[in-house]
Structures are given as C-alpha cells and as structure tokens.
Amino acid sequence: MSKNVKMVQSITSRNVDFAQWYTDLCLKAELMDYSEAKGFIIYRPYGYAIWENIQSYLDKKFKETNHQNVYMPLVIPESLFQKEKDHVEGFAPETAIITTTGVEVLSERLIVRPTSETLFCTHFAKIVNSYRDLPKLYNQWCSVVRWEKTTRPFLRGKEFLWQEGHTIHASENEARTEALNMLEIYKTLGEQLLAIPFVTGRKTEKEKFAGALETYTIEALMPDGQALQSGTTHYFGQEFAKAFDIKFQNVDNQSEYVYQTSWGVSTRLIGAVIMVHGDDEGLVLPPYVAPNQVVIIPIQSQNEDVQQATNQIYENLKAQGIRVFIDDSNKSAGWKFSEYEMKGIPVRIEIGPRDLEKGHVTIVTRYNREKSQVNVDEVALKMPDILKDIHENMLKHANDYVSTHTYVAKTYDEFKEYLKQGGYVQMSISGEDAEIQIKQETGATARIVPFDQTLFTNTCPVTGKKATQTVWFARAY
Amino acid sequence: MSKNVKMVQSITSRNVDFAQWYTDLCLKAELMDYSEAKGFIIYRPYGYAIWENIQSYLDKKFKETNHQNVYMPLVIPESLFQKEKDHVEGFAPETAIITTTGVEVLSERLIVRPTSETLFCTHFAKIVNSYRDLPKLYNQWCSVVRWEKTTRPFLRGKEFLWQEGHTIHASENEARTEALNMLEIYKTLGEQLLAIPFVTGRKTEKEKFAGALETYTIEALMPDGQALQSGTTHYFGQEFAKAFDIKFQNVDNQSEYVYQTSWGVSTRLIGAVIMVHGDDEGLVLPPYVAPNQVVIIPIQSQNEDVQQATNQIYENLKAQGIRVFIDDSNKSAGWKFSEYEMKGIPVRIEIGPRDLEKGHVTIVTRYNREKSQVNVDEVALKMPDILKDIHENMLKHANDYVSTHTYVAKTYDEFKEYLKQGGYVQMSISGEDAEIQIKQETGATARIVPFDQTLFTNTCPVTGKKATQTVWFARAY
C-alpha cells in the first residue's frame, strides 16, 4: 500500500463500533503501533509528543510545589516486594518476574516494578532520622509492568509510562493535604491542558489502591457513556511506614512513624484525550497538548505571493512560541486536509492566491470544522486567542456532555434505566453490600464518593437499609 | 548519627585511594544510594538533577537536528533478540530474562532490553516502504539492563539511564554522516555543559559494538590516568536491515536495504563529571550542568541589611535564570561552607554586615576556592560572566591535563613507561595482533583510532611488522 493514499474512509464510525473506531484511530493517526511483545505497544513520535507535553506541564507543577525527581531501580527483590501484606496481594498475580540471566539462574527472583512503594519505603527508612528531614517529596518518571490479560492501546497494557509521586510527612494532616493537593493538580491538568473536565472524589473501600487508607481519583466520562479512571492519589497513613520501619524523631524527641502518600497519572491520559474529543474524521487535539498547533498549507506553493505570505505567517507564529509547520509537499490539498484532520491539528491555515488578492487567508478550526477568513496581517496576532477559544469551547463541550449524562437515581429501576443511557448515576446507598450487588447485577462500579455529600434518599434503593453515603456509579474501562 | 554533623573528614583523599574517594563522594554528596537489588542504584534528587540537565541539553540538540522521541517496549521476545548473529553474541550473556508472571510460566522468554536495535528494526520494517519515508531519525530516553558482574555507581551498573538514537537512511553516505554528526553533538556536550574535553575517533575492530561496521567514541581521561568511554555512535551499514528485512523503493524504483545508525550516552557521564572535576573537599560541578549554580549564605541573617541584600541579590539572580537558593537555616556558617563545597556548588555568596558596610559581599568560587569582594549592586550583573569564567577555566584545566598526559611511544619500552605515568599513549601498530598482545601484557586497550592519521614509526614496536595505523591506548574503566 502506498503511503500517499490516505485511507480516511477506512476508519470505523464512532456510532457503529466505538471500540473499533478507537483502535483504528490510534493506528491511523500514527500514535502507536503494536510490538512483537504481545500486549506491549510502541509509542510512535506523534503519540509520544503528546506524552511529552503532559510531562512538561506536570513536571513544572511538581517542581513549583517543591517536589524532586529521583529514579529507583526497575526491579524489586521478591522478599522486599512481599513486605506489605495488602499491597502484595493486590499486585502479585500481575507481576512479571526475572528468574535468570543469560548465564545463571538468580538466587532471588526479581519483580519488574508494577509500582515502586516498596523501593521508596526502603530508601526512606535509610535517609530519614529527624522531623528536620521531612517532608520528602519525591517523584519519578518511568514505565511499569502489569501483566494484564486484555490490553488496549494507552488504556490498558502490559507496560505503561507514568509518573509516580511518593512523599513522607511528619503529620497525618500534612500527608492528607498532599494527597488532595496533587489531586487538584491533576484536575487542573484536565482543565488547562487536556480540555477534560475530571470529576474528583474518594474511592470506596472496595475500589481503593492495595495498601492505601484513602484513594482519591480523577474520573473522565467517555462518549460511550463509560467512565475512565484517569489518575489517583493515595493516603497511606502509617501502614507502609510500620512495614518498612520508617521512623523519625518528632519535635518532642519521640520516635514516630512517618505519614505517607503516593500519586500517579499515566499514558492512559492519551486514551482519554482521543476518546473525549475525537470524531469520525479522526483525532481532535486540544491546542495546548497538541504536538502541532497549526499547519500552514500553501495552495499553489510556486506562487511568489503565496510563498511570501506563508513564510511570514510561519515566522510570526513561531516567534510567539506557537507550534507550527508548513506542508508545501506536492501532495494534493485534499490529501493534506484529510491527513491533518486525521491527526487532529487544531488549526489549518490555507494560503491561496485568490484569498491573498483580497488580503486574507482561510482558517479552519478542527474541532468544529468551521472556516473563516482572516486578514493576512492579523493571523499571527489573533492566533493565541483563536487557540484559547478552541480550548475553551472544547472544554465546555466536554463539560456539557458530563452535565447531561449525570443522573440522580432514587429507585433501583431508575438507576438501571439511567445506566442504559450511559454516564454517571448518583445514588445514596447503604454500603459495600449495595455496591457489590450493583456491580453483579448491572456491571456498574462505584467511581467516586464525592467530597460534598447530599443524601438523595433515606434508605438505600438496593438493600432497603439506611442510606449512608452518595456514590457516583458508572460502567467503566 | 545526627544529620547536622558534616563528616567531611571521612572522605578518603584522592591520592590515597582514588576508587574509594569516588565511592565516598557519590554517597556523601547524596548523588545516589545503593538499593536492595544488588548492582542497581537509586538516583537521588541531586544526582538525578544532573542527569536532567544533560537530558535537557541533548534533547534540544536532537530536536533541532530533526530527531523525534519515541518509546519502545521494555522487553524483547527471545526469538526476536536472536535475529542478528553478532549482536546476540555480544549481549546474550549479560541479559536479564523474564520467564514467568505471578501466575503462569511464559510460553516465550522475554529479554529485558540491554539495547533496543532489534525492536527498532522490527518497527522500521513495518513502517518504511519508499525513499519518501526516509530518513527516520528516532531517539528514546529509557533505562537498560545489563548483568554486569562488578558494578560501580554511575560507571557500571546492572541498570543505567541513557538515550539511544536509532536512525535509518536511504544512502550509506547519509548514515555515515549521521553517526559522525551525533558524535560531534556529544563532543560539544562535553565542551559546553560538562567542561570535559572528549577525544574522538573510531574504535578498532576488536573494540567496536556488537553488530556495527564502525563504532565512533568519545573518551574522557580521568585523574587516575585511566580513560572512560563516555558515549558511542555506530554505523551499521545494512547488516541489521538484512536480518530484519528493512527495505525501501529507492528513487530508481529498485528495492534496497536501508542504512542504519545508533548512538547513545548514559548516566556514566555523571561519573565522568565527578572524577574529572572533583577534589578532596568533594564535588566540583561545572556551572552549566550544576543543579544549583549559586548558594547565598547570609551571615547574621537576623540583620535587616543582610536580609534585604540577600533577597535583592536572590531576586536579581533568579530573574536572569540563574539557579540559586538561600540557606538561612540556623546551622553554622562553617557547616554550610563544608556542605556546599561537598555538593560542588560553583559559587557561594557570603553576605555579612561588615562586608555590607563597605558596600560589598564575598564571593567564593568552588573550583579554585578563591575569595573575592564584589560590589553588592554588581553581583547579579557580573554573575553570568563569573559562571562563564568558571566553566572556561575548568575546561581549560581538564584540557591541560589531557595534553600533559598524552604521549607518543616509538618503542614498546617507552609505551610501558608512559602507561605507568597514566594517560593516553599513541603508538603506530601493525593491527589486531599487536592490540591483543598489548592488552595481555600491559592491561591497556585501544581507546581510539584518531581520524587524522600520522604514522610515528614504520614498523610496529610490538610485533616488528609494518605499522598500519596509529592508535591511542590507555588503561580504561
């Protein structure tokens, strides 16, 4: 198959088969490719560049809030991994294990890190003596391995890229605040970079992280009505500190265990961006996370006026730090339009001689595919506002979708009815008994326990017992 | 042991035991720590920050030269790994192998990547059809695992952080040029960031990378007279392309194999910086790679004039993008001086009331420990030049060391005599027979075959045969 024929028509429509549309898009927009190792994907340049923009945003925020980057080993000796009981139970089945080298069987098996709490804890125990050594606010960028049975690009893989923050504190209050502050940074990432309105809250006992006292989450709603857990922060209390003996002398000179958190987001965020914003023409990237924000396509690129306007606009955009490139290849304009719509580039500028005669160029915004004429001298000047408008409109659109797909159920029948329509269903339930029954009977899981609690009914519609808390349910990835 | 007592005296002197000095320094400057997995180190914040500065410099250079970042899987199926004969022979003994998960034995063993040529090749074969798809200029930042028997912090470990570039081209000339251009970028990294004068050249047949037709190298000379291979670039010709069937239609519509390169530098560079510049007081960091370039120590920090001058200088330095911090903790000035000398911070500014009365502050430059008085209003203004001077003097100092430790031997006795003094010894030899004999008898290895060739003798002093090329020898890490 020649590379010059764009097979736009071969993308499955979202309405026909959402899952297939997603996979088609991941491959055809050249975000990723499958590798020879089953369940492990290749992050191609375009997909990796999205991750780099997410990294750059978060790394800055982490450093502004006094976090420091470190790097822990890829492997965890099996005996170390088994030190915290709940943690190992949660992760052991899905670990990949190194048992041998090219020449000799290892005396102790090494777990490829599925997450690094145990490594951080051992190190913390060595370097902390006094309250003056606290807090330690560490983060690492790396990949982790979890042996998932069914995998989907970016959403669930045997290996994924992420950041994992690990912090220890001298007080419970400070640690709890850290876990909530980092949740807020994740939520802001959604609003400022990804144009995704995350809803936030606590996880139920049943859904929380292995070993955590509290898990907080950001959840995004996909156009198929399913929720996607997009990042979590955990408050561990002193459980790991006790298992790993991380003690410090407090201000009163008493020996005390530290209070701990961890938090992470992963390349799963790329999956969220694809699904929340994409359409049947391909990717639609929010401008601030897009690797390329503007593509300039000269029509009749031999024309001198066109060349001059193209270069001038390019230079002026570049000078403002806007990520822009020119495609003056000899491919057809139609091919280019399709290609860059598939790639989801937020703004396309078409520069043709007829437009130029009237002193303007044509701008097409990807998310709504609207065309407008802009004065050739004003394009660069207006571009920051155009990008801002796109971002705000995309966020608003996504916000509206969440609003119109969030329901309150006062009976179990209502619950089931809303669930069919897709989205979040809020219900006031008795507890884990109701949660388990709902999951078994409807497939929906508890996504969040919202921070602001309102009871909609006095009794639980599922168990008939007293309602104790309101929970947001949804089917989920 | 209290954290407030600085044990500067416990660093071994460089002259007493260079290897022990190095290890002491890595630990006491808090660059790294040992982990529970033997041979795997923890990169602590200060050590990792040095790596981040190297990454930031190189990533910019790579992108300016049109390279794109990608991410390939951590694991390589064993059958794939074995496809290129020379390559697998070079790496197989030192591979770590995943054979099982927490619940089941794998049907095919997975090699944890020691390097990723095989993964890139498989992907290239899938995505390249025509000369229009070339070149592909890819890079990835990741860690790799090699089962080394003896390990030393940063210099040789079972896991290390690196970047690996992998490129394919439509012509031999373009690929060879790429390998040389990337070598030049590495050399420039040394001159501009690390203040290390790398010498460059080809590797001999015996020393080149498993599977490469040519290996080029940057070598640094350590103060103990041993060379450190600090980065390599490789020209592969079409060997991998044939093994992995990476073909393209050339401009004449003929099917042809691509021409390939790879290139990498690693956290070993941190080891080079420590050794080349460090002294008995601790680290000495060149200013452009230093995580903190300036520390301000107010003397009598309760004094209002001191506070005001401290804040003003801090803000003015910060505004220029200089990496600066204030230590106004209640630790003694003496403790602080030792601590930041140990950490190798290039410039210390002491701000005391007596100095201020005379309108100046005291500046101490770490590399030569020289004090000077600078007018309080001029400190910030002069700082960029002060940092530049430090960098240039450190580079010059390192350069002088190489010059005075590079010898020409015209007899084998001279060779052995120079080798004892430490450094590079140039000799014109007959070939691999001489190279092998030299290694067996003296422990010295061929470091580079310089690009500019001058024969110093007509016959090889070792074998008595005709001399064919001049080679730089040294003992090496």
How large a percentage of chain A has pLDDT more than 90?
94
What's the pLDDT at A4? 41
Q: What is the pLDDT of residues B157-193, one digit of tens each?
A: 999 999 999 999 999 999 999 999 999 999 999 999 9
Looking at the fold, whether B42 and B191 belong to one and the same domain comes out as yes
Per-residue pLDDT tens over the stretch A384-412: 999 999 999 999 999 999 999 999 999 99
Please state the ipTM of this predicted complex: 0.95
Residue ranges with strand state E in A223-287:
227-237, 247-249, 255-257, 259-266
SS3 at position B186: helix
What's the pLDDT at B301? 83
- Tens of pLDDT, residues A92-119: 899 999 999 999 999 999 999 999 999 9
CA distance A163 to A264: 5
> With b meaning 16 or more CB within 10 Å and e meaning fewer, what string describes A276-300?
bbbbebbbbbbbbbbbbbbbbbbbe
Do B384 and B303 fall into the same domain?
A: yes
Structure tokens given for B57? 């410099």
Task: Please classify residue A457 by burial: count the beta carbons closer than 10 Å to its beta carbon, then call 0-12 exposed, 13-18 middle and 19+ buried.
Answer: middle
- The answer to the question of residue A287 being in a domain is no
Say whether both A191 and A259 belong to one domain: yes
Tell me what the mean pLDDT of segment B101-105 comes to. Answer: 95
pLDDT for A210: 85
Q: Which residues pair with B235 in a beta bridge?
A: B214, B261
- For residue B389, what pLDDT is reported? 98
CB contact under 8 A, A110 and B123: no
**Which residues in A lie closer than 8 A to residue B161 (C-beta atoms)?**
71
Q: How far apart are CA B220 and CA B270, in angstroms?
A: 12
Is pLDDT above 60 for B414? yes
Give the tens place of pLDDT for each residue, A67-99: 999 999 999 999 999 987 887 888 889 999 999
* Residue A288 backbone dihedrals phi, psi, to 5 degrees: -80, -20
Please give the average per-residue pLDDT across B467-472, as a whole number: 98
Q: Please state the φ and ψ torsions of residue A98, each to the nearest 5 degrees.
A: -85, 120
Instruction: List, for residues A224-256, the tens digit of each pLDDT value.
Output: 999 999 999 999 999 999 999 999 999 999 999
* Domain count along chain B: 3
Q: Examine the domain organization and report whether B363 and B465 are in the same domain.
A: no
Residue A279 token pair: 């359409």
CATH code where residue A320 lies? 3.40.50.800
CB B148 within 8 A of CB B174: no
Q: Which residues of B touch A42 (CB under 8 A)?
A: 70-73, 119, 123
**Range of weakest confidence among A345-354, B1-10, B461-470:** B1-10
Nearest Cα of chain A lies from the Cα of B270 at a distance, in angstroms, of 14
Residues B112 and B214 placed together within one structural domain of the fold? yes
Rounded distance between C-alpha atoms, residue A423 and residue B138, angstroms = 41
pLDDT for B6: 45
- pLDDT of B1 above 50: no
DSSP strand pairing (B105-112 vs B136-145): unpaired
- Cα A338 from chain centre: 27
The domain that contains A128 carries what CATH number?
3.30.930.10
- Please state whether beta strands A294-298 and A347-351 pair in parallel, antiparallel, or not at all (unpaired): parallel
> Helix, strand, or coil here: A347?
strand
CB atoms within 10 A of CB A337: 18
Closest chain A residue to B44 measured between Cα atoms?
A: A70
Task: Confirm whether A152 is domain-assigned.
Answer: yes
Q: Which of A277, A310, A337 is the last residue of a domain?
A: A277
Confidence of residue B211 (pLDDT cuts 50, 70, 90): confident
Residue numbers in A near B126 (CB within 8 A): 33
Structural domain includes residue A396:
no
Same domain, B228 and B352: no
Whether residue A266 sits in one domain with residue A131: yes
Contact of A350 with A297, CB cutoff 8 Å: yes
Give the 3-state secondary structure of residue A109: strand
Instruction: Among A249, A277, A305, give the residue marking a domain's end.
Output: A277
When pLDDT is averaged across residues B369-384 and rounded to a whole number, the result is 97
Please answer yes or no on whether B35 and A122 come within 8 Å at the CB atom: yes
What mean pLDDT do residues B435-459 have? Answer: 98
Structure-token pair, residue A336: 């280019």
Separation between Cα atoms, residue B198 and residue B218, nearest integer Å:
5
Q: Say if residue A243 is in the same domain as residue A214.
A: yes
CA distance A440 to A475: 12
| Residue pair A209/A263 in contact by the 8 Å Cβ criterion | no
Confidence (pLDDT) at B9: 54
Residues 6+ apart with CB under 8 A from B256: B170, B247, B248, B249, B250
Any domain includes B284: no
Angle made by CA atoms B381, B339, B477, in degrees to the nearest 5:
100
User: Tell me, what's the pLDDT at A1?
Assistant: 36
SS3 assignment, position B364: strand
- CA–CA separation, B443 and B314 (whole Å): 51
CB-nearest to B101 from A43, A75, A147 is: A147
A70, A103, A132 member nearest B45 (Cβ):
A70
- For A268-305, the pLDDT digits (tens) are 999 999 999 999 999 999 999 999 999 999 998 899 99
Residues B144 and B104 in one domain: yes
Domain range enclosing A157: 8-277
Query: What phi-psi label fits residue B282: left (phi over 0), alpha (psi between -120 and 50 degrees) or beta?
Result: left
Please check whether residue A221 lies inside any domain of the structure.
Answer: yes
- The contacts of residue B469 (CB under 8 Å, 6+ apart) are B428, B429, B431, B449, B453, B455
**Where among B319, B354, B389 does a domain terminate?**
B389
List of chain B residues whose C-beta atoms are within 8 Å of the C-beta of residue A44: 70
> B101 and A96 in contact by Cβ < 8 A?
yes
Residues of A in contact with B51 (CB under 8 A): 71
Give the per-residue pLDDT at B90.
Answer: 84
User: Does B277 have pLDDT greater than 90?
Assistant: yes
Beta strands in A335-474 (DSSP E): 347-351, 360-365, 370-375, 406-408, 424-429, 445-448, 469-474
A248 and A205 part of one domain: yes
Domain membership flag for residue A398: no
* Cβ pair B97:A101 closer than 8 A: yes
* B194 lies in the same domain as B64: yes
Q: Is the pLDDT of residue B377 over 70?
A: yes
Relative to beta strand B214-221, strand B199-202 is antiparallel
Do B64 and B103 sit in the same domain of this protein? yes
Q: Which two tokens stand for residue A213?
A: 């006292």
pLDDT band for position A9 (cuts 50, 70, 90):
low
Domain assignment of residue B401, yes or no = no
Please report which confidence band the pLDDT of residue B3 belongs to, taking 50, 70 and 90 as the band edges.
very low
Distance from the Cα of A464 to chain B's closest Cα (Å) equals: 40
**Does A89 fall in a domain?**
yes
Any idea which of A120-124, A263-267, A342-346, B297-301 has the lowest mean pLDDT? B297-301
Q: Based on the number of CB atoms within 10 Å of its own CB, is B446 exposed (0-12), middle (13-18) or buried (19 or more)? A: buried
Identify whether the C-beta of residue B450 lies closer than 8 Å to the C-beta of residue B219: no
* Local structure of A196: helix, strand or coil: coil
DSSP lists the bridge partners of residue A353 as none
pLDDT digits (tens, 9 = 90+) for A29-46: 999 999 999 999 999 999
Q: A101 to chain B: which residues are within 8 Å by CB?
A: 93-97, 147
